[in-house]
Amino acid sequence: MMKYLCYLVMMIFTIDACRINGLNIVEYNYKIKRYESAFELGLKEIEKYPRNEISQFYLGKTCYELKRYNEAIKYLNRAKELNIKLSKEINIVIKQCYILIADNYYQSALFDSAAFYYREAFKYENN
């Protein structure tokens, strides 16, 4: 019980520290590779603050790390709509998502679907 209480207090101070240091909580958890926490917190953040492009961006990158590529594309596109300055980095990750989705279809012998996602990836070639 005491161990749980200590952990809870530590998490509260960590969350406060992230906000004090100017870091977004989703970004913080992503950077320390707590992808499941980043995902859960990211969903809560964008529910409260849907126009927070940093939360959208790091939620997208977190989904990529969790191999949730379709979700990653969705959040990354939202981040790009909110902040065009992030476009180049976002486009790189979106392209990687499309390629990985296409590869999965190709390995499953679903060639038409694979071709569709390879074409989608190609759209991000020069962006």
Q: Give all domains of the chain, ordered by start, each with its CATH number.
A: 2-122 (1.25.40.10)
Residue 89: predicted pLDDT:
86
Which tens digit of pLDDT belongs to each residue from 54-81?
899 999 999 999 999 999 999 999 999 9
Answer yes or no: are the C-beta atoms of 95 and 102 closer than 8 Å.
no
More confident residue, 85 or 107: 107
Question: Cα separations (Å) of 25 from 7, 30, 38, 66?
Answer: 17, 9, 8, 18
Task: Name the token pair of 70.
Answer: 């379709």
Three-class HEC string of 32-84: CCCHHHHHHHHHHHHHHCCCCHHHHHHHHHHHHHCCCHHHHHHHHHHHHHHCH
